[in-house]
């Protein structure tokens, strides 16, 4: 039995029906029959997906203008995609985060892995930021937001419609407060530090929750340490280091706004006396610090995605290698170097090799002491490599 209210779309005979049956959530444009009827569907339409034998496989959302032409919403072909459906998904996601965290500061929905394709929700206490990165989520935004409010009880909801994923779906940029009001950065407690999240003016949703376990690990290495945090954004690793007893932390970033928020966070965390910032290009700053003869116990580099796509992979790996080479020169013998990548196109092996090459080129010996990933509020869909984008490598040098 299928859902009579929805139109049907059909896989081509050679499409990977088995992969989709076993949990792969996407149908690519070359796998779907795109007849006149399918082409006429509005971006974000809900439809029943059939295999080439016309057997119903589930409910999908269709966007004929996207390379990912259909995304699986529900494997039950009789499902109705309405507010109740969204509420069920949010309840499931919330139960997992409530089990993990004492306070409501986390990624509440991690897209496909939480059964809501293209939807990101980050929660900052009473404030939720929704990124609707798929056409159906944009079109059904009011229903989605109402479901979120019902389940989570947040009083402020922000729609953050920005970023590369939206442009690939043919969606416009948009940033609006859709419920309540917000006029200042939100303080976020994490790993004993307080971070300032600029919900309306910062990068992505204002703060990166994904690094939390990696901050916590580096924090343990930082007791009495002189620490350097490059590409620091709002002080991710440096504030965690200071909360863990670091002697000093220097945060380097090209954004004056991000460094100002890092300074506010240091103030709120009571560690401002041990915290300093430098604004400038990270590569130039690493070279400058070397010229000044600076040496640190712990150095962390957490750059933006150097390889956001397969096309950018080779150049991205060269950039990761260069970061590793320049940063390694600043670490004292027996000290630690943590290198991060949020590029899903650069898999763990490629990133690890590029990092090790860079450290070797700096003339340093190394041992890899930890490989880290995003926290458990960023669950992985094993079928979808893209959902496991974050890698963090900690090396000990000259041991």
Q: Which has the closest alpha carbon to 219: 159, 166, 269?
A: 269
C-alpha distance from residue 348 to each of 73, 163, 206, 232, 319 (Å)? 29, 24, 26, 22, 15
Q: Are 114 and 102 in contact (CB under 8 A)?
A: no
Q: Which of 222, 301, 340, 342 is catalytic?
A: 342
The residues, ordered by sequence, that sit 6+ positions from 307 with a Cβ below 8 Å of its Cβ are 313, 315, 316, 317, 320, 341, 343, 345, 346
C-alpha distance from residue 280 to each of 1, 14, 235, 251, 262 (Å)? 61, 52, 15, 11, 15
Taking the C-alpha atoms of residue 303 and residue 259, their distance in angstroms, rounded to an integer, is 15
C-alpha distance from residue 320 to each of 283, 295, 330 (Å)? 11, 21, 16
Q: Are 115 and 387 in contact (CB under 8 A)?
A: no
236-243 and 256-269 helices cross at what angle (nearest 10)?
Answer: 20
Partners of 70 in the β-ladder? 27, 62
- Catalytic residue status for 301: no
Task: Measure the N-to-C terminal CA separation of the chain; round to a whole number of Å.
Answer: 65
C-alpha distance from residue 179 to each of 86, 124, 145, 146, 154 (Å)? 18, 14, 9, 10, 9
Taking the C-alpha atoms of residue 82 and residue 72, their distance in angstroms, rounded to an integer, is 15
State which H helix or E strand residue 276 sits in. Answer: strand 275-279
Length of the chain: 399
The three-point CA angle 286-287-288 to 5° equals 90
| Residues classed as catalytic | 342
């Amino acid at each position: 039995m299928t859902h009579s209210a929805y139109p049907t779309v059909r896989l081509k005979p050679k499409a990977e029906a088995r992969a989709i049956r076993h949990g792969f959530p996407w149908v690519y444009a070359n796998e779907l029959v795109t007849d006149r009827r399918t082409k006429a569907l509005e971006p974000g339409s809900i439809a029943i997906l059939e295999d080439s034998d016309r057997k119903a496989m589930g409910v999908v959302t269709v966007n004929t203008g996207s390379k990912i032409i259909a995304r699986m919403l529900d494997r039950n072909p009789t499902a109705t995609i309405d507010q109740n459906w969204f509420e069920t998904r949010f309840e499931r996601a919330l139960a997992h985060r409530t089990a993990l965290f004492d306070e409501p500061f986390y990624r509440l929905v991690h897209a496909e892995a939480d059964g809501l394709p293209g939807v990101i929700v980050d929660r900052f206490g009473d404030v939720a930021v929704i990124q609707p990165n798929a056409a159906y989520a944009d079109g059904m935004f009011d229903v989605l937001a109402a479901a979120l409010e019902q389940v989570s009880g947040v009083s402020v909801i922000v729609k953050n419609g920005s970023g590369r994923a939206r442009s690939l779906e043919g969606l416009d940029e948009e940033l609006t407060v859709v419920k309540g009001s917000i006029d200042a950065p939100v303080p976020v407690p994490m790993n004993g530090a307080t971070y300032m999240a600029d919900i309306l003016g910062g990068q992505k949703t204002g703060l990166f929750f994904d690094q939390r376990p990696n901050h916590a690990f580096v924090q343990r290495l930082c007791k009495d340490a002189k620490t350097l945090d490059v590409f620091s954004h709002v002080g991710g690793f440096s504030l965690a280091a200071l909360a863990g007893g670091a002697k000093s932390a220097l945060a380097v970033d090209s954004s004056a706004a991000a460094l100002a928020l890092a300074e506010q966070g240091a103030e709120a965390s009571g560690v401002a006396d041990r915290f300093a910032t430098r604004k400038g290009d990270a590569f130039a700053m690493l070279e400058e610090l070397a010229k000044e003869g600076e040496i640190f116990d712990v150095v962390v580099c957490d750059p933006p995605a150097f390889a956001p796509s397969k096309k950018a992979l080779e150049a991205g790996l060269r950039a990761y290698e260069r970061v590793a080479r320049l940063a390694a020169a600043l670490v004292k013998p027996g000290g630690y170097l943590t290198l991060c990548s949020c590029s899903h196109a650069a898999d763990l092996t490629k990133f690890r090799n590029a990092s090790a090459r860079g450290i070797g080129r700096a003339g340093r010996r190394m041992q890899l002491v930890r490989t880290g990933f995003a926290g458990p509020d960023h669950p992985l869909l094993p079928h979808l490599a893209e959902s496991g984008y974050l890698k963090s490598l900690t090396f000990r040098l000259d041991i």
